[in-house]
Amino acid sequence: MKTPAWSRLAGYAWGVLLWNVLVALFGAYVRATGSGAGCGAHWPTCNGEVIPRAPQVETLIEFTHRATSGLAFLSVLFLFLWVWRAFPKGHPARLGAGLSLFFMITESLVGASLVLFGWVADNVSPERAVVQMVHLANTYFLLAALALTAWWASGGGPLRLRGQGAVGPALLLGLLALLFLSMSGAVTALGDLLFPVRNSLEALERSLTPGEHFLVRLRVLHPLIAVSVGLYVVFAGYLVAHLRPSSLTRRLAQGLAYLYGAQLLAGLINVALKAPVWMQLLHLLLAYAIWLLFVFLMASSLAQGTRRVELGEGEASQVHRGTGGATWKDYLALTKPRVISLLLLTTLLAMLIAAKGWPGTGLFLAVALGGYMMAGAANAINMVVDRDIDARMKRTAKRPTVTQRVSSRDALLFAFALAVLGFAVLWWGANLLAATLALMGLIWYVLVYTLYLKRRTWQNIVIGGAAGAFPPLVGWAAVTGELSLFAWYLFALIFFWTPVHFWALALMIQDDYRAVGVPMLPVVLGERATVIQIALYALLTALISVMPLAMGELGFFYLTSSLLLNGLLILKSLALYRRPERRTAVSLYKYSMLYLALLFVAMAVDRVL
């Protein structure tokens, strides 16, 4: 039985993609070994010869790269001709093949400019860094075009770009973030080549030294950029898989998460081993794989016919489109201002604790605004995801996504805009570490708590509640640019306080949770087990709250304040244990909020005194 022509074409398209990945990796090998000047300043000839005679090792490496690149060019040209002959006008594979040929041409021109202008070997000019970034970005575009060509040639559906709500911007931002990360990686790799260091400490010291070369000073930013971009890419992958559900989007989202974890590990090993050539190539290969997975996630989730969950497609009734007429108050309600108030207070008080006084008005306002935006974005996404159970609970039945004052589509767009602006404000007004930590808190709340744990296990609030412990880390990092042991103490304090606070609330509204099938602790194990757990966590919180005294970070004022506050917390927890009634649960719930606020105030005052 003969293989259909389109099937042979699809196989060839996948082969061309693989070949170009290998050629790109070999190009990185040329740069990492300093062999870019192996053919001198000649192009397309090598040292003035078509085929060099008696070449040096560097010449052989560079010439081999040019030969393999030439074969890659011919393979893409043949792919273009075959696709245009095999598929009719308007078929998306034609667009992919056309873009592939275009980016292959620009790839050749950028590579030629590196040689002709001498931006190779030991050249440390800014122009070389810029062209290096452009070169890598063009490679990413080329691989994306080839991947889409193979995808469409294999039967993948054309893209539907309109009517995608927040999914379209989320995917576009992911592509841009990965592109930005790749360009920062190109600069970092160039710095590793031209300015080698003995260890990571020397790299950090030199990056902070005024007057050092810009390639050295930029190198320290790449790890933070990698973490923040990775967090966003994983978040976007799982959110898109939830909003455009299919077995393929779920597998791609999971693959992105696992692959990015491997990439971060490879980055750490690369730094520890001082960037050997083989490790640089592995690091780049993983980067290409992540980029291609994200491109495939985009293609599968935006394909025509894919179900759009936030619009209610595939359900019995169109319950998510909204009634219109939403006001600013409805959008403000999406952010859950009352919930955010305590989180924001711990953020701002952590700034006072870190600064041992006033951290500066501009910084204070930037963190307040950026922190509110990031937390508000997380809450708005939570309202979209949980709108089905919110509609059946008295406490949440009037939320804008339930009353349909705001459609799920508009709520997600609003959340996406808040998150992007919040991250930008924190980065601009404070630093990248603070912005990254705020993004980690958002992702933990949405992915770990809301999407994964909340409906699966009674441990949801223990593990997922860590999202509420990120705000003081944000405030501390905004002031100091780092995370000390004291900062992590603040994290631990809120982490162990959260079950006391939330399980008291869960006792109050356990009937609502039972009705919607959310496995909160009182629903799963009963009231007696819940009040015991609350008492144990109250004791743990009290013990952790005195740790700064042993560390020598706080003094007498905090000692007396914490003893009073913790004594009352334990008494109220014991009262709930003796009488597990709504009245005692309400009392503990309300006091737990006051407890955390006053404890942070006591720390801030003590640090100033």
Residues near 79 by beta carbon (within 8 Å), at least 6 away in sequence = 12, 13, 16, 97, 100, 146, 149
pLDDT digits (tens, 9 = 90+) for 494-514: 999 999 999 999 999 998 889
Enter the pTM of the model: 0.82
DSSP code of 55? -
Percent of the chain with pLDDT over 90: 53
Higher pLDDT pick, 227 / 375: 375
Rounded to 5 degrees, φ, ψ at 33 are -90, 0
Mean of pLDDT values over 355-363: 94
* pLDDT at 433 exceeding the cut of 90: yes
* pLDDT at 208 exceeding the cut of 60: no
Mean of pLDDT values over 338-348: 94
pLDDT digits (tens, 9 = 90+) for 153-177: 999 889 888 888 888 999 999 999 9
pLDDT at residue 2, rounded to an integer:
39
pLDDT grade, residue 543 (50/70/90)? Answer: very high
pLDDT at residue 198, rounded to an integer:
57
What is the C-alpha to C-alpha distance for residues 577 and 77, in angstroms, rounded to an integer? 76
DSSP code of 196? -
Nearest C-alpha neighbor of 571 from the set 594, 539, 596, 606: 539
Nearest C-alpha neighbor of 404 from the set 314, 335, 309, 325: 325
* Weakest mean pLDDT among 75-84, 188-197, 528-537, 585-594: 188-197
pLDDT digits (tens, 9 = 90+) for 362-407: 999 999 999 999 999 999 999 998 988 988 888 888 899 888 888 8
What region does 121 belong to: left with phi over 0, alpha with psi -120 to 50, or beta? left
Helix (H, G, I), strand (E, B) or coil at 154: coil
pLDDT at residue 429, rounded to an integer:
95
Average pLDDT, rounded, for the chain:
86
Peptide bond into 44 cis (omega under 30): yes
What is the C-alpha to C-alpha distance for residues 25 and 23, in angstroms, rounded to an integer? 5
pLDDT digits (tens, 9 = 90+) for 377-387: 999 999 998 98
Helix (H, G, I), strand (E, B) or coil at 414: helix
pLDDT at residue 45, rounded to an integer:
66
Q: Say if CB 322 and CB 404 are below 8 A apart.
A: yes
pLDDT grade, residue 209 (50/70/90)? Answer: low
pLDDT at residue 465, rounded to an integer:
83
pLDDT at residue 324, rounded to an integer:
66
